[in-house]
Structure 1
Amino acid sequence: MQIDLSGKTALVTGATGQLGRVLGRSLARCGAELVIHYNHNEARALELKEEAEAAGGRALLAQADVTDYKSVIKMRDHILAAYRKVDIVVANAVIQYEWTHILEQAPEDYISQFESCVMQNVYLAKAFVPQMIERKYGRIIGINTECSMLNLPQQSAYVAGKRGMDGLYRVLAREIGEHQITVNQVAPGWTISDKDRENGTERIPSYEKDVPLKRRGEDQDIANAVTFLASDQAAFITGAYIPVCGGHVMPSI
């Protein structure tokens, strides 16, 4: 089975991040026209654009603050002027912060996680779902986390934001499914990225011992799941929360 996204336009938010750049490459390799969203790291976005175009693809840069509705709408107008449509939206961007216990965690960190995990997805839906409804086609894929099920100490702001995102996605899947738009989430475990490869930190035995597969996943494992959900092979999957974590968490029935 081969995944062919030719003729599809895919937006990846946070595309310059450790995971985002792999998501973008994978979608582009399957033939999608890529929209590389960034907020501040224009230099990295340009590198990804050049990489996609060198491989024979087409790519567009799109700057926006995804926690600001007007900025997202401006980004939408910029994208639609170039590509006329967006078939696939991958919501990957998230605000980074220092994790600590609830009693020490700054209230602002909870607000930032709500804005980047929940409101980003509200704004993306408002911006791109209407034209998906018109065309009776769309794929919305959110990057959640295994932390949403683990609920471990010092994860409270992140978990609160991602669990809010989960609720939003499940409702959205029910609301727009009749238009043949799928809405799904991929939940990575503690994934190996380029930063780990550069720093030699691929192995974390204390984490791996609790993973049934006894290893950490690769960023490409996450990208493979996202690319599948973006394809026509996944046309009858919606409302799903899919852990890609080697069995570290297992949703129950």
Structure 2
Amino acid sequence: MKLDLSGQTALVTGATGELGRVIARTLAECGADVALHYHSNESKAAELKGAIEALGRRAVTVKADITKQEAVEELRRTVAAALGHVDIVVANAVVQYPWQSVLEQPVEDYTSQFESCVLQSVFLAKAFIPAMIGKKAGRFIGINTECAMQNFPTQSAYVAGKRGMDGVYRVLAKEVGEHQITVNQVAPGWTISERERTSGLAESADYIKSVPLKRRGTDQDIANAVAFLASDLAGFITGAYIPVSGGNVMPTI
């Protein structure tokens, strides 16, 4: 038994980001061709495309504003022309902003989180799930966060967007399950990525105290969970919110 995505095509939004690039490479290493969405970092997208092609997989880069429905539809058309039908959608892109208290947080930040968490997911579903229904197969995976369970001070806009996203995914899982399409979320904890490896790890002793596994997760840990959910091995898992946080947050029953 192995995790094999050969013959599959994946789309990763925010593919040039710290998590996105590792998710994209991991899916390619498992055998998938990959469409690489980016918002502004064209050079990183081109570099990632070359790395995936070096693995013997096909790749295409697509610039788009995933908070706009027509841009997502154009993304779908571009990917279809280059790689064909998309079997796996990974909604990873999110707008970055400074975190402040509810009283200080600009209203625009709540809007940006709604657009990049909730509306991105809705637009991607409208664009890509109809073809999955036709094939009676598909994987729709969103990157959520442990913050959605923590609700700590200054997290309000981010948590609002991600909890709204959670509702969309749970409903969508029930709506498309009969077509053998799974809809799941991966919720990273405070994750070590390439940026920290390059610049030096941030102090994290206080955070680790609450983590049962006594370490921070890595970008590869997150990518591994995504690849698993994208594979046939996870064919009977849907509607799940899966923390990849070393036990720092634990959904209850």
Contact 1:21 1:48 in 2 (8 A): yes
| TM-score, with length taken from structure 2 | 0.99
CA distance in structure 2 between the aligned counterparts of 1:238 and 1:203, rounded to whole angstroms = 36
Equivalent residue number for residue 17 of structure 1? 17
Choose 202-211 or 242-251, whichever is displaced more.
Answer: 202-211
State the SS of the aligned residue for 1:222: helix
- One-letter code aligned to 1:66: I
Matched-pair identity in %: 66
Equivalent residue number for residue 144 of structure 1? 144
Contact 2:211 2:246 in 1 (8 A): yes
1:83: how far off? 2.0
CA distance in structure 1 between the aligned counterparts of 2:203 and 2:171, rounded to whole angstroms = 37
RMSD: 0.7
CA distance in structure 2 between the aligned counterparts of 1:230 and 1:64, rounded to whole angstroms = 23
CA distance in structure 2 between the aligned counterparts of 1:8 and 1:124, rounded to whole angstroms = 18
Equivalent residue number for residue 80 of structure 2? 80
Q: Which portions of structure 1, spanning 4 or more consecutive aligned residues, are displaced by more than 6 angstroms?
A: none
CA distance in structure 2 between the aligned counterparts of 1:115 and 1:22, rounded to whole angstroms = 24
Contact 1:203 1:216 in 2 (8 A): no
Choose 199-208 or 169-178, whichever is displaced more.
Answer: 199-208
1:188: how far off? 0.2
- 1:156-190 CA-to-partner distances (Å, cap 9, x unmatched) read 00000000000000000000000000000000000
Question: Tell me, which stretches of 5 or more residues in structure 2 are unaligned?
Answer: none
CA distance in structure 1 between the aligned counterparts of 2:249 and 2:202, rounded to whole angstroms = 20
1:202: how far off? 5.3
Equivalent residue number for residue 132 of structure 1? 132
Equivalent residue number for residue 168 of structure 2? 168
User: Is it true that 1:37 corresponds to 2:34 in the alignment?
Assistant: no
| TM-score, with length taken from structure 1 | 0.99
Residue correspondences, number: 253
CA distance in structure 2 between the aligned counterparts of 1:50 and 1:110, rounded to whole angstroms = 36
Question: Tell me, which stretches of 5 or more residues in structure 1 are unaligned?
Answer: none
Contact 2:173 2:182 in 1 (8 A): yes
Equivalent residue number for residue 118 of structure 2? 118
- One-letter code aligned to 1:250: M
Choose 59-68 or 89-98, whichever is displaced more.
Answer: 59-68
State the SS of the aligned residue for 1:102: coil
State the SS of the aligned residue for 1:141: strand
- 1:65-92 CA-to-partner distances (Å, cap 9, x unmatched) read 0000010000101111122200000000
CA distance in structure 2 between the aligned counterparts of 1:207 and 1:86, rounded to whole angstroms = 38
State the SS of the aligned residue for 1:153: coil
Equivalent residue number for residue 96 of structure 1? 96
CA distance in structure 2 between the aligned counterparts of 1:184 and 1:145, rounded to whole angstroms = 13
Equivalent residue number for residue 213 of structure 1? 213
Choose 200-209 or 89-98, whichever is displaced more.
Answer: 200-209
